[in-house]
Amino acid sequence: MTSTNHTERYVTLTNVRLILANGTLSPLTSLHIDTHSGLLLSTLPSGPDPTAVNGGVKVADLGGKWVSPGLIDIQICGAFGVDLSEFKGKEQYVRGVRKMGEGLCKLGVTSFVPTIISQKPEAYHAILPILSGLADTCLMLLDEQAASDHDIGTSGVFNSKQETPGHPACARPLGWHVEGPFLSPKKVGCHPAVNLAVAKDGLRSFENMYGADTLNEEEEEVAKIITLAPDVEGVCETIPQLVEKGWKVSLGHTNASTAQALEGIAGGATLLTHLFNAMPSLHHREPGLIGLLGLPFCSTANKITRPSMAQQMRSTLPTPAAQSIVPSRIPSPIHEYQHEHKLGKSKGGQAGDQHLQEMCFDGSELLSHSMEKLRVDTAHLAMGAFPSSLLKTQGGTDAVHDNDFTRMRLQKIPPLYQNGHIATEEQQQQQEQQGDLTDILFTSQTSPTFGATFSSSSEEDVTNLNDNDDVSRSNKVTRPYFSIIADGIHVHPQAVCLAYNAHPEGCILVSDAMHMLDPKLPDGLHPWRDGMIEKKDGGIVLAGTDTLAGSILPLPQAVVNFSRFTGISIPQAIVCATYNPAKCLGKHVTGKVGLEEGCWADLVVWDERGGVRGVWKAGREIDGSHSDEKE
């Protein structure tokens, strides 16, 4: 089902701009593809006769269009009439996955994680082994002999390699996402409440639900995501064991308190399922699951409930005149910054201030502060990270320069608490002379108001955001990734923008689509299980209610919506549907998603408005993708 019957082994896409992992565009360049392996090449093999040696080279000029890796949907419950949670036999199920994969591939979704909502144990026992086999098959290179010899447990279903979900015209299933049934009955959504369960027997409850073989499977190339509610009996205690077995734990469909949410993250959960939906709303005194996006860049389990800086020291706000010229959105110094910047040095540090001010007002760069040099970013944030050129005009304000940032403070260091007592002026001066104001703040402190004790940070406690896949979670905590549905129905655009600004590196766009995802499906009532679902106004609800029943959002449309909601560029939005989900999945797709040599040749061609103009799967162009439409 590809656009041409390829006789050439190699394909070169010329005159393209690559969408990079940081959301920027490369200069015009070329991509080289080996259609036999389905992988990208850095250069074409050389030889005296390229046609004879290389098996032929096809050149396609894309006219300056943008190219990204194929989209990845880590939460999709069905599409094109296929309900992944419904099992009516192995053969019918596998054919359904294939039909769904073919439809998704034409949209630009080249990989997906089939999602099963809350079911009875017998359904999981039947479905998960099939999905495991399909994922294992499709992650193999498109080697004909290997594919023909591999048994996916669907005897008699496929007659040839061209009919399997690994066929180039079909999106590859990466494993499974079991969304339930260990969910809160207070946040059940459209899940059948009768199927909900508790984990009173700990890990054994999960073995009984999903099957012992499935739970303990050690296949590294099968993504295993599980959505759990940390407030359900026995769940939090079991999360570390699930993580140890290679499961990617996500928190969702929960009524969890802030403490329970933090316990889940401390146990090893690294993802939040469809942020804002099926969870308590954000409250400033009880932030709950959503408040996890407000965690420091990294922390440790014994410090995640520490009092905020505002509770430990007096405010050091700029004067009103200075506030009026402070940018409305100042990049936070606790964000990870991917590029190293050296601020210019001149007399009085003016060059550095000018560069820093440009970074703040531009909004496209984040402040870079080395964890080793500053030790505790939040202390500097509390002291104020404003350019002195914005603040030193005010009387009584003294701007103090530090190598990589300008710290604003008043004439005197604000009173600091030490072991429950206000540090004396002599102690504060001594600390300043030693060049580290954070020692008073973070040495066995106790807030006299809240009585919460925490100890100082150490280098071995620091966990990089990108290292959260294979790190022991016993005492290390990072802000989790989060998925979000950008259809404008599930989440208000302003809330979408708020979440992205809080943690752009962790944002993952998902469709959470149901079987009714089909651009040709008309509005009205449609059967679903034992009830009806109504499609109207671009969404779907349980018939006769206002309860959202998943979405019918194509992931490429989510990219365009997300760009509009947040004000970021189309390439930056595409990152949230490609590179970010790949980082979240970690070892299951490491080295396979990207635009470098050895990555899958799963590609999407975009125009400047975010329209999909073509799809390439395993190095072959797909019929029926938007590239076939006339511009």
Q: Which alpha helices (H) appear in 59-120, and where do they start and end?
A: 90-107
Kindly report, residue by residue over 80-115, the tens digit of the pLDDT: 999 999 999 999 999 999 999 999 999 999 999 999
- For residues 563 and 573, state if they share a domain: yes
Token pair 């964000």: residue: 335
Q: Is residue 195 part of a domain?
A: yes
What is the total count of domains within the chain?
3
Q: Is residue 584 part of a domain?
A: no
Contact 168, 625 (CB under 8 A): no
Q: Strand, helix or coil at 353?
A: helix
Q: Where among 395, 426, 456 does a domain terminate?
A: 456
Per-residue three-class SS string for 172-183:
EECEEEEECCCC
C-alpha dist (Å) from residue 150 to 48, 115, 160, 600, 602:
37, 24, 12, 20, 22
- For residues 86 and 20, state if they share a domain: no
- For residues 108 and 42, state if they share a domain: no
Residues facing 476 on adjacent strands: 300
Contact 594, 69 (CB under 8 A): yes
Q: Is residue 204 part of a domain?
A: yes
Q: Is residue 1 part of a domain?
A: no
According to the model, what pLDDT value does residue 296 have?
Answer: 82
Kindly report, residue by residue over 326-360, the tens digit of the pLDDT: 333 333 333 333 344 444 444 444 444 444 444 43
- For residues 83 and 190, state if they share a domain: yes
Q: Is residue 144 part of a domain?
A: no
Q: In this structure, what CATH number is given to the domain that contains residue 599?
A: 2.30.40.10
User: Of 157, 110, 154, 148, which is closest to residue 132 (Cα–Cα)?
Assistant: 154
Q: Is residue 602 part of a domain?
A: yes
**Rounded to 5 degrees, what are φ and ψ at 138?**
-75, -20
Distance separating alpha carbons of residues 569 and 556, to the nearest angstrom:
14
Domain of 245? Answer: 71-137+165-303+465-579
- For residues 325 and 352, state if they share a domain: yes
Residues facing 114 on adjacent strands: 76
- For residues 205 and 319, state if they share a domain: no
Distance separating alpha carbons of residues 66 and 626, to the nearest angstrom:
14
Contact 454, 302 (CB under 8 A): yes
- For residues 537 and 408, state if they share a domain: no
Q: Where among 456, 490, 518 does a domain terminate?
A: 456
**Rounded to 5 degrees, what are φ and ψ at 122?**
-60, -30
Q: Which alpha helices (H) appear in 414-519, and where do they start and end?
A: 425-433, 438-441, 493-502
- For residues 260 and 391, state if they share a domain: no
Q: Is residue 201 part of a domain?
A: yes
Distance separating alpha carbons of residues 70 and 60, to the nearest angstrom:
18
- Residue 276's Cα: distance from chain center in Å? 15
Contact 255, 187 (CB under 8 A): yes
Residue type, 327: P
- For residues 14 and 95, state if they share a domain: no
Residues lower than pLDDT 70 in the chain: 1-7, 47-55, 138-167, 297-476, 626-631
Residue type, 391: L
CA end-to-end span of the chain: 22
Distance separating alpha carbons of residues 195 and 183, to the nearest angstrom:
10
Q: In this structure, what CATH number is given to the domain that contains residue 554?
A: 3.20.20.140
Distance separating alpha carbons of residues 480 and 496, to the nearest angstrom:
16
Cα 339-345-349 angle, rounded to 5 deg: 110
Q: Is residue 154 part of a domain?
A: no
Q: Strand, helix or coil at 199?
A: coil
Residue type, 328: S
- For residues 220 and 124, state if they share a domain: yes
User: Of 194, 173, 208, 178, which is closest to residue 116 (Cα–Cα)?
Assistant: 178
- For residues 442 and 486, state if they share a domain: no
Distance separating alpha carbons of residues 95 and 47, to the nearest angstrom:
43
Q: Where among 409, 437, 456 does a domain terminate?
A: 456
Distance separating alpha carbons of residues 251 and 270, to the nearest angstrom:
8
- For residues 483 and 451, state if they share a domain: no
Paired tokens of 12? 């070169």
